[in-house]
């Protein structure tokens, strides 16, 4: 209902459902009534004065003197928290977990479960969400929110928080494609439609002193939700910035400009159709900075390449080091110089999103050797 009310609101408006509006009778001016999602909503335009309402405050006198708040054990609490958040709270005693960081938002709307008439609706929802959580776990994404309703349910998954990777966008797209191709046992889910956006998010706990949860919130969250609402069944919608970052790795269908609430300008929208099997990317982008301070290492690599040519026997060379020390640049320079030694470089990349694809690096190398697109 809140999502339906949000769609009716304009700047300065207050939107209440019918039950709440009736309780506010006399405190606000006469509303304008609208119906959405089979629910009546009262829309109050700019109020000249604020209502005077006496809130009902909590008082211990309302409870029996013998009442003792129940204490929950860690075993009872653990299933309700993301594993990473639970470990952080237990080990670091970090109360708020709040920070700003880049993240990717994936919203998924799905339908087909009749919560009112189907006695097995709960079991179906549980089975489907457990499968979704399994897919997310493979790519180290997090299920942040699940909302159910008779007009369709939706879930929100985040990538980059609480666990960050340098390819979180690619992981989010891989999950979306997997969710669109759900196993036959979930044929009761009649459709899925999705939206993906990325940006700087406020991640951490939010809520009151008595009730709070972990969230990943920002402009990208709102945009992903609105892309989901704009999608038709089977579509995975995104915007220009995401399309640019995805490059040639996915086939994207241009859908033109669309307007979204919260955006002053129409946004170019794209439908992510499928992944494209392409040869592994080259190292050209790694060769922009010059190689500095790796003379000995490069000489060792060139000596090994010369030995391979001379003996006609293969060799395995492993480059290992901390992040940022220049492994990729050293490898790129070696690949660039391989033809000078009479070798043809063929690249196969082991990517996090293709761990379940058999022989993926070998297939990439085969496409290069066979000159396939």
pLDDT tens readout for residues 123-136: 999 999 999 999 99
Helix axes 121-138, 168-180, angle to 10 degrees: 140
Residue 109: pLDDT band with limits 50, 70, 90:
very high
> Which pLDDT score, from 0 to 100, does residue 277 have?
63
Query: What would the pLDDT profile of 253-274 be if each residue is shown by its tens digit?
Result: 999 999 998 898 999 999 999 9
Kindly list the distances between the CA atom of residue 10 and the CA atoms of 17, 50, 163, 312, in Å, as whole numbers in the listed order.
16, 18, 36, 73
Share of the chain above pLDDT 70, in %: 87
Residue 207: pLDDT band with limits 50, 70, 90:
confident
What strands lie across the sheet with 14-17, from one edge to the other? 14-17, 39-44, 32-36
Q: What residue has token string 């929802």?
A: 125
Q: What residue has token string 């058999």?
A: 358
> Which pLDDT score, from 0 to 100, does residue 104 have?
98
Instruction: Please confirm whether the linkage preceding 81 is cis (ω < 30° from 0).
Output: no
In terms of Cβ atoms closer than 10 Å to its own Cβ (0-12, 13-18, 19+), residue 265 is exposed
pLDDT at 301 over 60: yes
pLDDT at 197 over 80: yes
Decide: 335 and 327 in contact? Cβ < 8 Å.
Answer: no
More confident residue, 126 or 14: 126
pLDDT at 287 over 70: no
First to last CA, the chain: 48
The pTM score is 0.69
Domains of the chain: 2-44 (no CATH), 95-275 (3.30.70.1230), 284-346 (no CATH)
Average pLDDT value over all residues in the chain = 85
> Which pLDDT score, from 0 to 100, does residue 169 have?
95
Among candidates 203, 223, 193, 224, which has minimal Cα distance to 82? 203
Residue 188: pLDDT band with limits 50, 70, 90:
very high
Decide: 199 and 218 in contact? Cβ < 8 Å.
Answer: yes
> Which are the contacts of 37, defined by CB distance < 8 A and separation ≥ 6?
1, 4, 149, 151
C-alpha 206: how far from its chain's center?
Answer: 19
Q: How many Cα neighbours within 13 Å face the side chain of 174?
A: 21
């Amino acid at each position: 209902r809140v999502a339906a009310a949000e769609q009716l609101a304009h700047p300065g408006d207050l939107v209440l459902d019918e039950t709440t509006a009736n309780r506010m009778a006399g405190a606000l001016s006469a509303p304008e009534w609208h119906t959405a999602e089979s629910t009546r909503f009262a829309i109050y335009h700019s109020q000249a004065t604020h209502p005077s309402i006496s809130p009902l405050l909590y008082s211990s006198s309302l409870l029996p003197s013998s009442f003792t708040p129940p204490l929950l054990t860690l075993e009872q609490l653990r299933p309700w928290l993301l594993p990473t958040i639970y470990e952080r709270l237990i080990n670091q005693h970090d109360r708020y977990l709040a920070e700003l960081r880049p993240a990717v938002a994936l919203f998924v709307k799905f339908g087909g479960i009749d919560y009112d008439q189907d006695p097995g609706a709960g079991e179906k929802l549980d089975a489907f969400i457990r499968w979704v959580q399994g897919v997310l776990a493979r790519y180290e994404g997090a299920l942040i929110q699940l909302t159910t309703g008779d007009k369709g349910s939706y879930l929100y998954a985040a990538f980059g928080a609480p666990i960050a990777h340098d390819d979180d966008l690619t992981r989010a797209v891989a999950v979306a494609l997997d969710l669109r191709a759900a196993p036959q046992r979930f044929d009761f889910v009649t459709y899925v439609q999705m939206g993906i956006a990325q940006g700087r998010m406020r991640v951490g706990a939010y809520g009151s002193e008595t009730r709070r949860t972990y969230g990943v919130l920002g402009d990208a969250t709102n945009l992903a939700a609105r892309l989901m609402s704009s999608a038709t069944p089977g579509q995975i919608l995104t915007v220009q910035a995401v399309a640019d970052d995805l490059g040639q790795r996915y086939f994207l269908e241009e859908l033109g400009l669309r307007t979204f609430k919260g955006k002053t300008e129409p946004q170019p929208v794209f439908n992510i159709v499928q992944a494209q099997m392409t040869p592994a990317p080259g190292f050209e982008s790694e060769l922009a900075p010059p190689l500095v301070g790796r003379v000995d290492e490069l000489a060792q690599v060139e000596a090994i390449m010369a030995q391979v040519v001379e003996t006609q026997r293969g060799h395995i060379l492993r480059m290992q080091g901390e992040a940022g020390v220049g492994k990729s640049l050293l490898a790129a320079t070696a690949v660039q110089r391989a033809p000078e030694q009479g070798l043809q470089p063929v690249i196969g990349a082991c990517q996090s999103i293709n761990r379940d694809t058999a022989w993926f690096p070998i297939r990439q190398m085969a496409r290069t050797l066979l000159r396939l697109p």
